[in-house]
Structure 1
Amino acid sequence: MGAQKKDNRKKNRRHVICMASDFFYPNTGGVEEHIYNLSQCLIKRGHKVVIITHSYGQRKGIRYLTSGLKVYYLPIRVFYAQCVLPTMICNISLIRYILIRECVEIVHGHSAFSVLCHEVSIIGKLMGLKTVFTDHSLFGFADTSAVLTNKYLQMCLCECDHCICVSHTGKENTVLRAKVKAHKVSVIPNAVDAYNFTPDPSKRDPNVITIVIVSRLVYRKGVDLMAAVIADMCPRYPQLRFIIGGDGPKMWLLQEVREQKGFQHCVTLLGSLKHSEVRNVLVKGDIFLNTSLTEAYCMAIVEAASCGLKVVSTRVGGIPEVLPEKMIYLTEPNVTCLVQGIEKAMKDIEHGNILCPYVCNSMIRKMYSWMDITRRTEIVYNKISMNKDKPLGLQLRNYLTCGVWPFLLVISLMYLLLKLTEKIYKRKHIDIAKDLKL
């Protein structure tokens, strides 16, 4: 009986987790929302969570969000695409101080494109902490940028205790490109707060069919396909209306199509949206269109389905895993197939062959819950907390498997700098077990 109680205490133990990523609020996107919602649910379940990210404009230092979520906005400048410069050694003292100050025991990094995520994870591992990495995206194998990114990811994940992917397709992609052992990768999808994304059919215009698009306007989101579909369908269907929310470097293409073709009356460009404004845009639509060229898991289509919209999406990456067939029309990533998918959805709407919006919301509520995602993530935390610490020699041997010998020098230099920092700024003797009330 006593042994069983002790085992239950280990399973339900309280963890101190550090979420690390270049992508966090006030920036908006799927990664940012995932980190925030997961952190909030972990706090509700009794864990302590802090977040490390870089500064955003004047937002520097320590900020507190809902439920006392503590965010460190480090005074590091952005180098490219919201990511910091990968120096690996310049921020060691600051990151080490935060990890010790907060008594962190698990470092959870997010996004393969985040430099700060990998930097904090490697420093944490050299300090004897457990590390988890969540991959939110798919990446190719052919072009130069993909080869370099994959090799960098392979180097950084050599010593990672466990990886999480948001879809089974994403797991296969990560195992192949980062050469992570399959048993060290779990699939835990994203989720959506279906109570915030509720339907409201009264907001729809019954005289027209409204297609809503909410997306970052970048190449991989298929903006070229989006523009071609608008140019093809607007002249043939006068009752069709497009509402497009989002901003990005490809915005000019949609503006060009809208102005040159004279589609001002049927195409509305809303620009950048706050996440709190997305639901109010979605409820105005009958159909949600996603034209992504690559996607590990598309949060937008789940939010749209939760609001009761018919979803038309390209069949790429992990999207076929996200929604059941009766809630989505999957097409090939080309203009002809997308147009056919939209036309099929329009016919079903005209004949009333659609699910009730409130039924859709109820189904999404059962399929995707942040508390369920949090419980599954806790299982990963409990599992890796049992792993034994590895000596430096064994860590270097594992880094050697990536085939990049100079990286061993970088890791060795980071270790020496951590030891030097320990001499200069001595670690306070903190009784972690007592502090965590284990």
Structure 2
Amino acid sequence: MPYNIAMVSDFFFPQSGGIESHIYQLSSKLIDRGHKVIVITHAYKGRTGVRYLTNGLKIYHVPFFVIYRETTFPTVFSFFPIFRNIVIREEIDIVHGHASLSSFCGEAILHARTMGLRTVFTDHSLFGFADAASILTNKLLKFTLSDVDHAICVSHTCKENTVLRASLDPLMVSVIPNAVVAENFCPLSHTTRPPDQTLSSPPDPPLSPRPIGPDDPITIVVISRLFYNKGTDLLIASIPRILASNPNTRFIIAGSGPKAIDLEQMLERNVLQDKVELLGSVRHEEVRDVMVRGDIYLHPSLTEAFGTVIVEAASCGLYVVCTRVGGIPEVLPQHMTTFAKPEEDDIVLATSKAISALRSNRVRTDRFHDQVKMMYSWRDVAERTERVYEGIIGDISPEEFYGYYPGQGWEASGDRVRSFALIDRLKRYYGCGVWAGKLFCLCVVIDFLIYVFLEMWFPRANIDIARSWPRKPPAPKSRDSNTSRGLR
């Protein structure tokens, strides 16, 4: 059965990143499967109002004040009138929020439940439990997910983190990884047309992979936001040592952020401008062109729920050196990666090992693209997400969706099918803490009163229904789908 779905997050194009790409690719594949999908995000510079992207994906850019890293100022209630108008205009059935730090996401899930809509949340990040920022974020996540119908995480490590942070029933959290459009990340050995060749020209034959000799130069690529959590400090400390121990090596670094000035100062201090090329921020469609210039991809992140960029790097035929943190060890098989501890000495050692492995031709990087193409598919992600929608809507039975069958204790498994009754919602929020629980209940009551006021003074009959983009016939399920193997 086709659904009308609203993807809600502060993070979307024109900003580039893993969450933005995930929302776009998932939405596009769901449209291919016959569903109607819209995206609700905040206004970006030069982008306000309604926009359309490829495949008929409709974007609502809502003008709200942005405070930090493209996150809007949390207001709890002021978003409700606009959100209600959009949801009624588009006849939305399911609201799907993305990212723990997105104010739009948390507020949309609260308002959607008040309006009697089913909700899904996808977590893309890992957070700690000790520092003040994490404690506050975890409490807000608990508020967001206390009444959500189902949650999705991009890795098993991310699922464990989210279950602990939000005190969720593990059966209400599914693991659906990110994916990559492998055709957009082909290595040079698969390239049939150089970038400057016109479309009318006949394609060139595929290039043969070049074996790396003991004296050939090695290029290490880094594409990342230059923030502390992305391991930029480790990168800055490691580059001079890697270049000193491997003279015939150079770096290409793409990305921007507050740590860019520290990186530039390190290059000037060590006089490495001729061995390190800084490209600044690059668009997502340019990432492949940067990656194919290298042989090794270095990813020194301190925390990562999944790490889509390392899948893109492997698809481009790069050998990956990455830190063993978060969900990264789940992403690629061991023959594609060399792992390091998030420490300077270990990153230098792991990078040197990777360089030696390439020079001795112990690694067959020419096979990486075809292997990644078999492992990750956005079509598979869309099918598995669609099954989550079927479960919360009720198109499949709770026993089938959660994996419980008669005689296995389903009756005592708890309240997994969320009721819309206000008293039931208040019971769920009241257990969030001695003081926080009461505050959350107050927010829910106020939200409900605002909804009643809007229904009385701005009735639904006065809101015009938007014409939908012509639906596509539902795509058949792929035979190699992981849906039948379960979500958890």
TM-score by length of 2: 0.84
Q: Distance in 1 between matches of 2:439 and 2:160?
A: 28
Distance 1:388 1:115, change over 3 A: closer
2:318–2:365 contact (8 Å) kept in structure 1: no
- Who is 1:208 aligned against? 217
Amino acid at match of 2:163: V
1:263 aligns with 2:263: no
Give 1:217-256 correspondences, 5 Å limit.
217-256=226-265
Q: Distance in 2 between matches of 1:215 and 1:384?
A: 36
> Secondary structure, in 3 states, of the residue corresponding to 1:428?
helix
- Who is 2:425 aligned against? 395
- Who is 2:20 aligned against? 32
Amino acid at match of 2:420: K
2:4–2:35 contact (8 Å) kept in structure 1: yes
Q: Deviations over 1:272-301 (max 9, x none)?
A: 000000000000111000000011100110
Equivalent of residue 275 in structure 1, options 284, 291, 315 = 284
1:204–1:283 contact (8 Å) kept in structure 2: no
- Who is 1:88 aligned against? 76
Q: Distance in 1 between matches of 2:24 and 2:334?
A: 30
Give 1:39-188 correspondences, 5 Å limit.
39-188=27-176
1:305–1:364 contact (8 Å) kept in structure 2: yes
Equivalent of residue 379 in structure 1, options 387, 396, 399 = 387
Q: Which has the higher contact order (CA 8 A, sep 6+)?
A: 2
Amino acid at match of 1:400: Y
- Who is 2:374 aligned against? 366
Q: Distance in 2 between matches of 1:169 and 1:106?
A: 26
2:37–2:57 contact (8 Å) kept in structure 1: yes
> Secondary structure, in 3 states, of the residue corresponding to 1:108?
strand
The 10-residue stretch of structure 1 (81-90 or 300-309) with the greater mean CA deviation from structure 2: 81-90
Shift of 1:205: 11
- Who is 1:192 aligned against? 180
- Who is 1:308 aligned against? 317
2:97–2:121 contact (8 Å) kept in structure 1: yes
Q: Distance in 1 between matches of 2:337 and 2:295?
A: 13
The 10-residue stretch of structure 1 (133-142 or 389-398) with the greater mean CA deviation from structure 2: 389-398
Q: Distance in 1 between matches of 2:95 and 2:446?
A: 21
1:411 aligns with 2:466: no
Q: Deviations over 1:160-179 (max 9, x none)?
A: 00000000000000000111
Q: Distance in 1 between matches of 2:83 and 2:351?
A: 49
Number of residues of Structure 1 aligned to a counterpart in Structure 2: 423
2:113–2:420 contact (8 Å) kept in structure 1: no
Shift of 1:428: 2.8
Q: Distance in 2 between matches of 1:137 and 1:356?
A: 29
2:237–2:344 contact (8 Å) kept in structure 1: yes
Q: Deviations over 1:133-171 (max 9, x none)?
A: 000000000011111110110011100000000000000
Shift of 1:83: 1.1
Q: Distance in 2 between matches of 1:88 and 1:26?
A: 25
Q: Distance in 2 between matches of 1:336 and 1:88?
A: 46
Amino acid at match of 1:68: G
The 10-residue stretch of structure 1 (83-92 or 380-389) with the greater mean CA deviation from structure 2: 380-389
Distance 1:221 1:204, change over 3 A: farther
Distance 1:96 1:155, change over 3 A: same
Q: Distance in 2 between matches of 1:197 and 1:303?
A: 6
Q: Distance in 2 between matches of 1:356 and 1:274?
A: 25
Distance 1:23 1:416, change over 3 A: same
Shift of 1:81: 2.2
Amino acid at match of 1:398: R
Q: Distance in 2 between matches of 1:205 and 1:30?
A: 32
1:216–1:246 contact (8 Å) kept in structure 2: yes
Q: Distance in 1 between matches of 2:159 and 2:19?
A: 17
- Who is 1:336 aligned against? 345
Give 1:287-298 correspondences, 5 Å limit.
287-298=296-307
Q: Distance in 1 between matches of 2:67 and 2:329?
A: 35
Shift of 1:204: 8.3
Amino acid at match of 2:96: H
Q: Deviations over 1:101-138 (max 9, x none)?
A: 10000000000000001111110111000000000000
Q: Distance in 2 between matches of 1:225 and 1:91?
A: 40
Q: Deviations over 1:304-343 (max 9, x none)?
A: 0000100000000000000000000011111111111111
Shift of 1:348: 1.1
> Secondary structure, in 3 states, of the residue corresponding to 2:34?
coil
1:223–1:291 contact (8 Å) kept in structure 2: yes
- Who is 1:325 aligned against? 334
TM-score by length of 1: 0.93
Amino acid at match of 2:165: R
Q: Distance in 1 between matches of 2:365 and 2:153?
A: 32
- Who is 1:420 aligned against? 453
Shift of 1:389: 4.2
Distance 1:334 1:355, change over 3 A: same
> Secondary structure, in 3 states, of the residue corresponding to 1:330?
strand
CA RMSD of aligned residues (A): 2.0
Distance 1:384 1:179, change over 3 A: same
> Secondary structure, in 3 states, of the residue corresponding to 2:317?
coil
- Who is 1:3 aligned against? none
Aligned identity (percent) is 48
Q: Distance in 1 between matches of 2:444 and 2:223?
A: 42
